[in-house]
């Protein structure tokens, strides 16, 4: 799915950093980039510090309560360490006011080869790492909770907000963790298309061969685990989608993919609904063309008459001209007969029933106007 919001790397940030890196002379820049879901970047580079750029990143907190106590996550710090080449990137402590992370990037230390594109692409994904690390930490903490604590925290959903007005919940249960997404759409047709999609999602997930995927369920009413939550969070028009996450999914590389998929679930569904509406529109347009073509085909042999006499065409759309040409007036029949014997008409299109029609007409017109009768004295 080639959609900007599903890419981890920010395209605007990547482009700006590549331009800065490839500039031959030091460039002074003070640029703010705002992206969807309240993501902000601030890039600064001045003449006094050539080939040195400061990048500040602000990403929404999924859960205020959880993130405050953990600061910069282990995953984010590890990722920044991994992309450091010759200390090209340093973490600035403390971060700039209003931002969660500030990086100092030594552009001159980034190699000027194809690797530079890869490194800059990795820097552009820092925001995605910051965001997904919050959920990863949360899931790991929930998973390693002791049995006594499980009983205490069970049935206490954690409310996470990634996209504005679209919270989702994560609930710890004895053998699994459940992520519940309340779904809302503005239009009724979107609700119906999305509902059909959720039913297919449930159907596909329950088949053989998909045992490794988390179990997906959809219900029109809130699950019992969400009892006690705010009414505005539970009032939806498209039901609730739940994913059951088992312990083996919270290990290794699978966790990263799963977390990113869950964070982008709302955007994914909305993108699918939008594409489906476009698909329906395209099909309708094509069908309209077919229906109009049917009208034209029903016109049949009368179409050739229009080439000779364009002035007599009735008003309206061209698609009805052929049907309109089937007038039963005698003058029209006479004109038609004359046109059949005219050498000017070239039949480039094969018309069904034409041979039979011509044969019938030739039987009618036995009188030839060229015949001359001898004058009687």
Partner 1 sequence: MASTLRLYSTCIRNTLEAAMCLQNFPCQEVERHNKPEVELKTSPELILNPVLICRNEAEKCLIETSINSLRISLKVKQADELENILTKKFLRFLSMRAEAFQVLRRKPVPGYDISFLITNYHCEDMQKGKLIDFIIQFMEDIDKEISELKMSVNTRGRLVAAEFLKQFI
- Can residue 219 be called a binding residue for partner 1 (CB under 8 A)? no
Give the H/E segment covering residue 162.
strand 158-163
- Can residue 1 be called a binding residue for partner 1 (CB under 8 A)? yes
Tokens for 51, please give them. 């080939």
Binding residue for partner 1, selected from 91, 158, 267, 292, defined by CB under 8 A: 292
Binding residue for partner 1, selected from 216, 234, 340, 351, defined by CB under 8 A: 216
- Can residue 261 be called a binding residue for partner 1 (CB under 8 A)? yes
Binding residue for partner 1, selected from 12, 92, 213, 234, defined by CB under 8 A: 213
Write the binding mask 295 to 314 for partner 1: x where contact by CB under 8 A, - elsewhere: x--x---------------x
C-beta of 257: minimal distance to partner 1 in Å? 5
Residue 298 near residue 348 (C-beta atoms within 8 A): no
C-beta of 279: minimal distance to partner 1 in Å? 7
C-beta of 215: minimal distance to partner 1 in Å? 10
Binding residue for partner 1, selected from 15, 151, 251, 254, defined by CB under 8 A: 254
C-beta of 214: minimal distance to partner 1 in Å? 6
- Can residue 237 be called a binding residue for partner 1 (CB under 8 A)? no
DSSP string, 232-250: HHH--SS-EEEEEE-GGGG
Binding residue for partner 1, selected from 154, 247, 288, 345, defined by CB under 8 A: 288
Size of the site for partner 1 (CB under 8 A): 50
- 81 or 282, CB closer to partner 1? 282
C-beta of 363: minimal distance to partner 1 in Å? 22
State yes or no: cis peptide before 94, omega within 30 of 0: yes
* Among 75, 131, 67, residue whose Cα is nearest residue 264: 131
CA distances from 270 to 219, 220, 260, 265 (A): 18, 18, 16, 9
Tell me which residues in 321-350 interact with partner 1 (CB under 8 A): 323-324, 326-328
- Can residue 351 be called a binding residue for partner 1 (CB under 8 A)? no
Binding residue for partner 1, selected from 15, 70, 227, 257, defined by CB under 8 A: 257
d(CA 243, CA 220): 15
Tell me which residues in 34-63 interact with partner 1 (CB under 8 A): none
C-beta of 49: minimal distance to partner 1 in Å? 42
* Among 347, 334, 337, 341, residue whose Cα is nearest residue 307: 347
Binding residue for partner 1, selected from 107, 193, 226, 250, defined by CB under 8 A: 193
Give SS3 for 182: strand
Only one of the segments 132-140, 144-152, 175-183, 202-210 lies at the binding site for partner 1 (rule: CB under 8 A); that segment is 202-210
Residue 183 near residue 238 (C-beta atoms within 8 A): yes
Torsion of CA 287, 293, 295, 298, to 10 degrees: -130
For residue 157, what is the DSSP state? P
DSSP string, 45-81: E-TTSTTEEEEEEE---S-HHHHHTT-S-HHHHHHHH
* Among 335, 194, 271, 255, residue whose Cα is nearest residue 2: 271
DSSP string, 266-323: HHHHHHHHHHHHHHHHHHHHHHHHHHHHHHHHHHGGGGGHHHH-GGGPPSS-GGGHHH
- Can residue 28 be called a binding residue for partner 1 (CB under 8 A)? no
- Can residue 147 be called a binding residue for partner 1 (CB under 8 A)? no
C-beta of 138: minimal distance to partner 1 in Å? 18
Binding residue for partner 1, selected from 154, 280, 345, 355, defined by CB under 8 A: 280
- 99 or 268, CB closer to partner 1? 268
d(CA 185, CA 188): 7
- Rule CB under 8 A: which residues touch partner 1? 1, 188-189, 192-193, 195-197, 199-201, 203-205, 210, 212-214, 216, 249, 254, 257-258, 261, 268, 272, 276, 279-281, 283-284, 287-288, 290-292, 294-295, 298, 314, 316-317, 319-320, 323-324, 326-328
């Amino acid at each position: 799915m080639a959609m900007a919001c599903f890419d981890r790397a920010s395209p605007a940030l990547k482009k700006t950093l590549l331009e800065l890196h490839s500039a031959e002379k030091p460039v002074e820049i003070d640029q703010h980039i705002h992206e969807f879901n309240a993501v902000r970047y601030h890039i600064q580079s001045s003449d006094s510090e050539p080939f040195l750029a400061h990048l500040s990143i602000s990403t929404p907190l999924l859960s205020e309560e959880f993130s405050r106590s953990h600061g910069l996550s282990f995953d984010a710090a590890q990722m920044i360490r991994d992309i450091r080449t010759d200390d090209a990137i340093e973490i600035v402590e403390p971060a700039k006011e209003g931002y969660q992370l500030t990086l100092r990037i030594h552009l001159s230390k980034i190699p000027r080869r194809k690797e530079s594109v890869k490194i800059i692409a990795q820097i552009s994904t820092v925001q995605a790492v910051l965001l997904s690390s919050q959920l990863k930490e949360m899931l790991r903490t929930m998973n390693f909770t002791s049995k006594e604590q499980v009983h205490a925290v069970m049935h206490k959903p954690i409310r996470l907000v990634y996209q504005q007005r679209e919270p989702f919940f994560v609930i710890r249960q004895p053998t699994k963790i459940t992520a519940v997404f309340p779904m809302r759409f503005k239009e009724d047709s979107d609700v119906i298309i999305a509902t059909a999609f959720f039913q297919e999602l449930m159907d596909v997930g329950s088949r053989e061969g998909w045992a490794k995927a988390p179990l997906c369920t959809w219900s029109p009413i809130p699950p019992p685990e969400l009892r006690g939550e705010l009414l505005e969070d539970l009032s939806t028009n498209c039901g609730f989608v739940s994913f059951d996450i088992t312990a083996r999914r919270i290990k290794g590389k699978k966790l990263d993919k799963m977390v990113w998929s869950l964070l982008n679930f709302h955007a994914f569904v909305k993108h699918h609904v939008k594409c489906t509406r476009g698909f329906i529109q395209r099909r309708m347009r094509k069908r309209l063309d077919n229906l109009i073509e049917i009208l034209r085909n029903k016109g049949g042999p009368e179409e050739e008459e229009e080439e000779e006499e364009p002035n007599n065409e009735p008003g309206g759309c061209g698609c009805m001209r052929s049907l309109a040409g089937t007038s039963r007036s005698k003058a029209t029949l006479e004109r038609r007969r004359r046109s059949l014997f005219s050498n000017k008409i070239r039949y480039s299109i094969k018309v069904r029933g034409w041979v039979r029609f011509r044969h019938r007409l030739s039987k009618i017109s036995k009188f030839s106007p060229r015949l001359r009768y001898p004058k009687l004295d």
